[in-house]
Amino acid sequence: MMQIFIPLNFLGFVYREMKGALANIEKMFSLLTVKPAVADTPGAPSLQVREGRIDFEAVQFGYNDSREILSQVSFSVLPRQKVAIVGASGAGKSTLFKLLFRFYDASGGAIRIDGQDIRSISQESLRRAIGVVPQDAVLFNQSIRENVRYGRVDATDEEVMAAIRHAQLADFVEQLPQGVDTLVGERGLKLSGGEKQRVAIARALLKKPPIMIFDEATSSLDSRSERGIVASLQEIAREQTTLVIAHRLSTVVDADKILVMDQGRIVEQGSHGQLLEQDSHYAMLWRMQQQERTPVMGEESPEAP
């Protein structure tokens, strides 16, 4: 998902960029991607985010002419809703994110934020409005505190600590020898996939963009990390419009809406309860994941709400 193969020397360049003045996770995200396929129209105005509503209207897209990847994709995310996207590998989930971030333009239909077609506004303002929690967050050989502060360099220590608490990292940090000043990365502590993603969530909470896109790590998480991720996601979704690519259905049971994708189409949408009632694609995925789940001592089995 959004994984790009890049030469190591380019990564070195990216790292130096990051160590420099920027400290802006979205800039890193855009640096890591292939060269932009779209350009601003001259004098494009800035996006005006009033509420944070997102509309995909009959969106069509292919990376090349020979194959359509998204067909007639329509859905709305209302302000401060949490919408989850689920579906098999290759269904087109991260392509939706790439279009929302405007790495590419749709070949048909439109994507609007608070009524503004994203092709008509500046890319800089679009990306400023969207926070990204990627699958593989990049951490630097610095303290946890500084890694979180990349979300907003002028944040106070108190704000950084609040973000750490809201990302459900406080208990973990307290156990570390130097607390928030513990170094992470190559020369410091190695964090698990779930812990790294919670650092990325803390960064995003500190930045507080009106729209948040979250690409859940596919790596296996222990049940504690998984619960931590679910809780920190709830924290994000409380105030921000949130779109989540979910691989574990435990992350989505409380979503306002779940979009089920298959071969570039939305084949079902609704709440967890509604989709279970329909007893179709989602219900089948849910039953499969319930069977796969290995019981962990002391853990309650997940129930449908």
266-294 exposure pattern, b = at least 16 Cβ within 10 A, e = fewer? bebbbbbeebbeeeebbbebbeeeeeeee
Contact with ligand ATP (CB under 6 A): which of 59, 83, 91, 260?
Answer: 91
CA distances to 5, 90, 205 from 13, in Å = 15, 30, 27
Q: How far is the CB of 165 from ligand ATP (least distance, A)?
A: 31
- Pick the binder of ligand ATP from 94, 122, 125, 182 (CB under 6 A): 94
In the chain, the amino acid numbered 152 is R
23, 133, 149, 197, 205 from 159: Cα distances, Å: 16, 19, 9, 19, 10
> What's the rounded Cα separation, in Å, for the pair 269 and 257?
7
The minimum distance between CB 87 and ligand ATP, in angstroms, equals: 6
Taking the least distance from each CB to ligand ATP, the nearer of 87 and 209 is 87
Residue among 96 and 212 whose Cβ is closer to ligand ATP = 96
Q: Which CB, 125 or 218, lies closer to ligand ATP?
A: 218
The answer to whether 93 contacts ligand ATP (rule: CB under 6 A) is: yes
* Burial profile 66-75: b = 16 or more Cβ within 10 angstroms, e = fewer: eebbbbebeb
Q: How many residues bind ligand ATP (CB under 6 A)?
A: 11
Residues whose CB falls within 8 Å of the CB of residue 39, separated by 6 or more in sequence, listed in order: none
Cβ contacts of 174 within 8 Å, gap of 6 or more: none
Question: Looking at 95, 142, 225, 232, which residue binds ligand ATP (CB under 6 A)?
Answer: 95
Residue 204's nearest CA partner among 136, 152, 241, 128 is 152
Q: Helix (H, G, I), strand (E, B), or coil: what is residue 78?
A: coil
> Phi, psi (5° rounding) for residue 92?
115, 15
* 92: contact with ligand ATP by CB under 6 A: yes
Q: Which two tokens stand for residue 115?
A: 């009524």
Task: Write down the least CB distance from residue 69 to ligand ATP, Å.
Answer: 4
Among residues 89, 175, 291, 294, which is the contact residue for ligand ATP, using CB under 6 A?
89
Q: Which is nearer to ligand ATP, 10 or 63 (CB)?
A: 63
Q: How far is the CB of 1 from ligand ATP (least distance, A)?
A: 4
- Please, how many CA atoms are within 13 Å of residue 182, restricted to the half-sphere of its CB? 16
Residue 1 lies near ligand ATP (rule: CB under 6 A): yes
Strand, coil or helix: what is 58? strand
Task: Say how many Å lie between the first and final Cα of the chain, rounded.
Answer: 29
Helix, strand, coil shares, percent, the chain, to 5:
35, 20, 40
Residues counted in the chain:
305
**Which CB sits closer to ligand ATP, 87 or 131?**
87
Stretch that binds ligand ATP, among 22-30, 91-99, 125-133, 279-287 (CB under 6 A): 91-99
Residues 52-71 within binding reach of ligand ATP (CB under 6 A): 63, 69
Verify binding: residue 90, ligand ATP, rule CB under 6 A: yes
* Closer CB to ligand ATP, 37 or 296, in the complex: 37
Stretch that binds ligand ATP, among 85-93, 227-235, 284-292, 295-303 (CB under 6 A): 85-93
Choices 10-18, 92-100, 126-134, 169-177 (CB under 6 A): range interacting with ligand ATP:
92-100
Interface mask (CB under 6 A) for ligand ATP, residues 136-175, using x and -?
A: ----------------------------------------
Q: Which parts of this chain interact with ligand ATP (CB under 6 A)?
A: 1, 63, 69, 87, 89-95
